[in-house]
Amino acid sequence: MDFYIDENDRVDGRDKVTGKAKYFAEYQVPGLTYGVLVTSTITKGKIVSLDTKSATNAPGVLAVISHLNKPSVAAYEQKEGSAFKIFYTDEIFFNGQPIAIVVADTFERATYAASLVKVGYQKAEFNTDFEKSVGNANARKLQGQPPYIRGKADAYKTAEVKIEQVYTMPIETHNPMELHGMIADWRANDQVQLYAKTQGVASTQMTISRTFNIPKENIKVNAEFVGGGFGMALKTWPLEIATVMASKQLKRPVKLVITRDQMFTMVGNRPAAHQKIGLGATKDGRITGITHIAFGQSAVYENFTEGVVNMSKFMYQSENVNTNYFVVPLDLSVPIWMRGPGEATGAFALESAIDEMAHALNMDPLEFRIKNDPEKDQVQDRPFSSKYIKEAYRLGAEKIGWKNRKSVPGSINEGNWQVGYGVSVGVFNAGRGRATVKGILKADGTLVLQSAVTDIGPGTGTGMTLIASKALDIPVDKITFELGDSSLPPAPSQGGSATLSTVGTAVSEVCAALKSTIAELAVNANMDATSNFVAVLKKNNLPTVEVTKQSNPNTEAKNYAMYSFSIHFVQVKVHQSTGMVKVSKIVSVGDSGKIVSPKTARSQMVGGAVGGLGMALMEESLLDHRYGRYINNNFADYHVPVHADVPEIDVIFIDKPDYIVNPMGAKGMGEIALIGFAGAVANAVFNATGKRIRSLPITPDKVLKA
């Protein structure tokens, strides 16, 4: 079958849809063995007995590794870092904690043998109830971020108009189709080949190097294709250390792919949050005070913090702002960043409160936001590098039909459905880091670009190819971008909406250097400086020209506040009899600089909207606090949006370059695609029904009860 490839199509699209693309678990390594984890069935306590005899004697079993026979791991012997070091303690920190790994010659045999391991425990009292802990003054709480005060604290309390509300959200679990795991192949002379699900091959390489005390040059990490990182693959987890540990001991390659239920306990989650927002304003709609106090879930053995209160500090004009953020350690596995880390959580509370204040003032929510839109970042006291949020408001409002919205909730009915409109804002840093790219121009008319960056789905290779194509005037089908291999020039982990800005800058600089080199070669060969590079290389009898460039953060950036912005508009329909909420229309507007790759950029915004639907209406990891155990740890009971839940999504880009951020004028987009979306849905539900739901997800029972 022939494929037609448009210049804006994903460069890896054909490989993905035909199955040529290999994900970590698909690599066939000679002599491959299979690992299966044995996990704790209690939530807190100690292991007092571990009987592995039956498992060890089962057919095909090569090893059963636990704290009783653990191999030496350099970093663990030093007892630094997290209290939970896999197989190095008899202590249980959370239900589902890995306590042994069974390795066998087939996956089926390893699975069966793991079921034969018998464990005796000494149980201890535990606490997994986040909301109960937040309300308990005696429950342990830690400072998650230093308190911030600008002007007067709690100024909202003396305002002409004020609101004070609490907003909550549950644990959300990363649930990509691809399960987490690793293939580890520890070879002779401490040479290690890893096939990993990671958002940063360099990060994984460095972690394994430090943990096992071997040179990082000995470790090669491959992650050419990653099936959804979501943020969980920004960390090398204990389960991956266990896989490397087993391979080192056996001197054979070991593959470990965790199960769906283990995804709920071993690779982090978006932590539960409890947020109190206080807003004060004058009667004519000027904000006079913002207070944002947040609590987030963490683990007793390792602390996790994120930027929950960041957006509240600068998004709206106010002389008086104070924030505080605490974490509540629980007997659960440690959380991790999830798309829109921290800011997505904080935006739900802030943007719901902004909508509540607009209603209290009898103002249009758009008008209220525009009236309080700041001209500069009040935290950094700097101008924005670029900001077209007012234009985004206008374009989105026109597209969604905001003029049809009624200020009185519950005014629009279509049969048994109540119709409402909501809006919310998203914002995230638009920075640029350090990355290195090698460019190889060949006399056959092709260009190869190389960088160790990974691609978790946004289309990194496509974006880099389009940057190079424009810079060098080379057709995209003549350009190859090699990535996801730690032996390539170093690049940071993919996360925080910084990859295109960071690596793209290095690509841009490589292309500029290649053009300069070709021009110089042309002049030296008595050719026109603008001659075709193929002719120049042939004239100079050169098969290739290579250039390597490292990009760095822009020194001019220190004078500006750099952010990407999004405006999410939604129309919802709420069924009066059942409380069912259906999002019937979505318009997402991205103010994220110049759009380098229109097709993949739109996909990012669509993906964020779909994730936002899940956050707003269905995603919730449920715990039975009697046992500290998840009860919906599967795809049947943990609900995520399906095709039937997703309406047509209109995506609009402002598409104006910001050359302060990088030479392409582009800014990050992955995070703002989701940040703020849940607030827009909650605000639309209120406009439809007059019922304010302040606890996510917005399920039918909450709508009927409100």
Q: Apex CA 87: angle with CA 86 and CA 90, to 5°?
A: 110
Phi, psi of 482 (to 5 degrees): -95, 130
Given phi > 0 = left and psi -120 to 50 = alpha, else beta, which region is 202? alpha
- The Cα 332–Cα 293 span in angstroms is 23
CA distances from 27 to 19, 199, 253, 256 (A): 13, 18, 11, 12
Q: What is the helix (H) or strand (E) element at residue 439, kind and residue range?
A: strand 435-442
Q: Residue 495 in contact with residue 199, Cβ under 8 Å?
A: yes
- The Cα 15–Cα 224 span in angstroms is 12
Helix axes 343-360, 677-689, angle to 10 degrees: 30
Amino acid type, 140: R
CA distances from 583 to 302, 334, 354, 621, 649 (A): 38, 33, 21, 22, 10
Of 47, 40, 197, which is closest to residue 122 (Cα–Cα)? Answer: 47
Q: Residue 590 in contact with residue 651, Cβ under 8 Å?
A: yes
Beta strands in 283-416 (DSSP E): 287-299, 321-330, 376-377, 382-383, 412-414
- The Cα 123–Cα 92 span in angstroms is 9
Q: Which residues contact 657 (CB under 8 A, 6 or more apart)?
A: 593, 594, 664, 665, 666
Q: Residue 352 in contact with residue 683, Cβ under 8 Å?
A: yes
Beta strands in 306-351 (DSSP E): 321-330
Given phi > 0 = left and psi -120 to 50 = alpha, else beta, which region is 506? alpha
Amino acid type, 394: R
- The Cα 11–Cα 515 span in angstroms is 23
Active site residue: 224, 351, 620, 671, which one?
A: 671
Amino acid type, 312: S
Q: What is the helix (H) or strand (E) element at residue 39, kind and residue range?
A: strand 33-39
Determine the distance from the C-alpha atom of residue 591 to the mean position of all C-alpha atoms in its chain, rounded to a whole number. Answer: 19
- Cα four-point dihedral sign 574, 364, 588, 293: negative
Tell me, yes or no, if 91 is annotated catalytic: no
Per-residue tokens: 237: 């987890």
Of 157, 63, 51, which is closest to residue 101 (Cα–Cα)? Answer: 63
DSSP H helices, 175-222, are 201-212
The greatest distance separating any two alpha carbons of the chain, rounded to the nearest whole angstrom, comes to: 84
CA distances from 251 to 62, 63, 192, 506 (A): 11, 12, 10, 39
Phi, psi of 371 (to 5 degrees): -65, -30
**HSE-CB for 37 with a 13 A CA cutoff:** 30
**DSSP calls for 568-580:** EEEEEEEETTT--
Q: Which are the catalytic amino acids? A: 671
